[in-house]
Amino acid sequence: MINLEIPKKYKPLVSQANQVATEVFRPISRKYDESEHAYPKELDMLASLIDGMNEGSDLGGAGAAGVRRGNGADPGENRNGSNLSTVLGIIELCWGDVGLLLSMPRQGLGNSAIASVATQEQLDHYGGLWAAMAITEPEAGSDSAAIRTTAELDGDEYVLNGEKIFVTSGDRADLIVVWATLDRSKGRAAIKSFIVERDNPGLKLDRLEHKLGIRASDTANFTLQDCRVPKEALLGSPDVNVEKGFAGAMQTFDNTRPLVAAMAVGVTRAALEEARRQLAAAGVGIDYSAPALSQPAAAARFLEMEADYEAAWLQTLHAAWMADNSRPNSLQASMAKAKAGRTAVEVTLGCVELCGSVGYAENELLEKWARDAKILDIFEGTQQIQLLIVARQLLGKSSSELR
């Protein structure tokens, strides 16, 4: 049975991550929000430190390094592994700044994708490199199955052609994990992911996006034109199994969606803590022993938002714990992502509203957190897509039966 208290062995990790967020992220948060596309050089030494912690411990460090589903766990054993430790670290770091976490070398969602499905040879070959994830296209956003980027086998190489947009850390990363189809006539089952080195001559950077939030992180658009990669760059099996469908490719999301949920949980907690401080300064007390309806409207609203935060936090830990214990967590991963993403948006905006002019001004970080939160309800699958996945699983419907 899952125990949703933080495991004792992870408390040093949580403390380390909180120190990073407090001492490194928060002081430069506004600086890199205002200096969009400027690389946060302060993170280089920090990333090296986290790499050392990850190599020296099976508990993971304070970063968002790749995670892999637990193997061979005793069904009666409660195993707390890398998925849970990574989620706990991300929550603390995103309490500091989401954009800066996404800007940390070798801590991207592409790394999580590689760790989820790569062979040992691929892990050895690409280890220590920074990987971005390229899924979205101009005509394939929430519906990843609509991907039009193609991959054709030519001798010992795959030739990739297509366009990718909204690639987080795409310009700074060493590798791009590109999703492409081997045969569009075979639908979802033919979609595979390929590791493309950033300096590949067939990978052209078109532009960097200007964004609402997470402005410390670069977001790139690419064109792949006769982009050649070795056969060994394909992640997973090259076979197209129509019966299995899209399940193999979607396994990546079962691991990365709890990570995005953790980002949302961290931002939500930051906003709630600041709102509580501002309300206390204004003389508004919050009484947990009294009914919400008997308290000031601001206090009642705060209690409502805090309850949503607690639910998102519990669901996120549950999804990560299930992965650590080799239990199918596709439903829980989507539920955590949906709940945490929506909660982050509603709570950060609610805190801005409660704090009035203080929440809206740039002398505090509340307005920035409200802007940063929106992407957490979008990337790795929008709110609507998550709810659709949840409905399909609960009702036992296929994607063709429930659209």
Is residue 297 in a domain? yes
CATH number for the domain that contains residue 106: 1.10.540.10
Q: Tell me which of 123, 148, 176 is where a domain ends.
A: 123
Is residue 2 in a domain? no
| 253 and 381, same domain (yes or no) | yes
Is residue 132 very low, low, confident or very high in pLDDT (cuts 50, 70, 90)?
Answer: very high
pLDDT digits (tens, 9 = 90+) for 76-117: 677 888 889 989 999 999 999 999 999 998 877 788 778 878
Is residue 54 very low, low, confident or very high in pLDDT (cuts 50, 70, 90)?
Answer: low
Instruction: Please give, one letter per residue, the 3-state secondary structure of the chain.
Output: CCCCCCCHHHHHHHHHHHHHHHHHHHHHHHHHHHCCCCCCCCHHHHHHHHHHHHHHCCCCCCCCCCCCCCCCCCCCCCCCCHHHHHHHHHHHHHHHCHHHHHCCCCCCHHHHHHHHHCCHHHHHHHCCCCEEEECCECCECCCHHHCCCEEEEECCEEEEEEEEEEEECCCCCCEEEEEEECCHHHHHHHEEEEEEECCCCCEEEEEECCCCCCCCCCEEEEEEEEEEEEHHHEECCCCCCCCCCCHHHHHHHHHHHHHHHHHHHHHHHHHHHHHHHHHHHCCCCCCCCCCHHHCCHHHHHHHHHHHHHHHHHHHHHHHHHHHHCCCCCHHHHHHHHHHHHHHHHHHHHHHHHHCCHHHHCCCCCHHHHHHHHHHHCCCCCCHHHHHHHHHHHHHCCCCCCCC
- 162-182: average pLDDT: 96
How far apart, in whole angstroms, are the C-alpha atoms of residue 89 and residue 18?
8
pLDDT score at 2: 66
Closest CA to 262 of 324, 312, 326, 311: 312
pLDDT score at 140: 86
pLDDT score at 78: 79
Is residue 75 very low, low, confident or very high in pLDDT (cuts 50, 70, 90)?
Answer: low
Any idea how long the chain is?
Answer: 403
| 275 and 370, same domain (yes or no) | yes
Is residue 403 in a domain? no
Of 122 and 4, the structure prediction assigns the larger pLDDT to: 122
- The domain in which residue 112 lies consists of 8-123
Is residue 402 in a domain? no
Is residue 177 very low, low, confident or very high in pLDDT (cuts 50, 70, 90)?
Answer: very high
Is residue 197 in a domain? yes
pLDDT score at 243: 56
- 132-136: average pLDDT: 93
| 230 and 254, same domain (yes or no) | no
Q: To the nearest whole number, what is the mean pLDDT of the chain?
A: 89
Helix axes of 330-354 and 383-395: crossing angle, nearest 10 degrees:
140
Q: Pick the range with the lowest mean pLDDT from 67-76, 82-91, 132-141.
A: 67-76
Is residue 118 very low, low, confident or very high in pLDDT (cuts 50, 70, 90)?
Answer: confident
| 176 and 118, same domain (yes or no) | no
- 187-193: average pLDDT: 88
Is residue 75 in a domain? yes
pLDDT score at 242: 62
How far apart, in whole angstroms, are the C-alpha atoms of residue 210 and residue 202?
24
| 96 and 16, same domain (yes or no) | yes
Q: Tell me which of 91, 123, 155 is where a domain ends.
A: 123
Is residue 241 in a domain? no
Residue 213 reports pLDDT greater than 90: yes
pLDDT score at 33: 97
CATH number for the domain that contains residue 346: 1.20.140.10
Percent of the chain with pLDDT over 70: 90
pLDDT score at 155: 97
Is residue 85 in a domain? yes
- 7-24: average pLDDT: 94
What residues pair up with 208 in beta bridges, in sequence order? Answer: 220
Residue 248 reports pLDDT greater than 60: no
| 111 and 164, same domain (yes or no) | no
Residue 254 reports pLDDT greater than 90: no
Residue 308 reports pLDDT greater than 50: yes
Residue 56 reports pLDDT greater than 60: no
Q: Tell me which of 203, 235, 267 is where a domain ends.
A: 235
Closest CA to 81 of 253, 247, 322, 259: 322
What residues pair up with 132 in beta bridges, in sequence order? Answer: 176
Q: Please give the tally of structural domains in the chain.
A: 3
| 346 and 387, same domain (yes or no) | yes
CATH number for the domain that contains residue 199: 2.40.110.10
| 101 and 228, same domain (yes or no) | no
pLDDT score at 186: 86
Residue 261 reports pLDDT greater than 80: yes
| 117 and 156, same domain (yes or no) | no
Is residue 29 very low, low, confident or very high in pLDDT (cuts 50, 70, 90)?
Answer: very high
| 72 and 115, same domain (yes or no) | yes
- 390-400: average pLDDT: 91
Residue 187 reports pLDDT greater than 90: no
- 365-374: average pLDDT: 98
| 134 and 270, same domain (yes or no) | no
Is residue 61 very low, low, confident or very high in pLDDT (cuts 50, 70, 90)?
Answer: very low
Classify burial at 309, counting beta carbons within 10 Å of its beta carbon; exposed 0-12, middle 13-18, buried 19 or more: buried
pLDDT score at 60: 47
| 204 and 316, same domain (yes or no) | no
pLDDT score at 41: 93
